[in-house]
Amino acid sequence: MQKLTNKEEEIMHILWRLEKAFVKDVLAEIQNDKPHYNTLSTIIRNLEEKGYVDYTAYGKTHQYFPIVSKEDYKKRFMNTAIENYFNSSYKNVVSFFAKEEKISVKELKEIISIIENKK
């Protein structure tokens, strides 16, 4: 799976949400920094070349749909981030969020409970 640019990732989130869409449908969903129609069309074709989307042709227009699930992308993204930024250590990930005060003691206890109940 090739790495996505920020804009490509934004487009994938829209396609995951819509499930099937024409370029005009995707364009309507973009809130900020709307690209030109042709630019968006190029981004979506790049996603096709990278193996993230496919399409159904209706004459000269295409309806695009994701062929990589959001779940599969999330797993790859998280595994890469943990490998690159936390030395492949999940303990380092949790410690990072604890130090940044992004996770509470209550949430940590819930995580421990989940782990203990998996046994």
**54 pLDDT tier (thresholds 50, 70, 90):** very high
22-49: pLDDT as tens digits: 999 999 999 888 999 999 999 999 999 9
Whether the model clears a pTM of 0.75, i.e. scores above it, the answer is yes
Tokens linked to 91: 């303990």
User: What is the predicted pLDDT for the residue at 3?
Assistant: 86
C-alpha distance from residue 5 to each of 27, 52, 102, 104, 112 (Å): 17, 13, 26, 32, 35
CA 104 – CA 91 distance, rounded (Å)? 15
Of all residues in the chain, the percent with pLDDT exceeding 70 is 99
pLDDT above 70 for 119: no
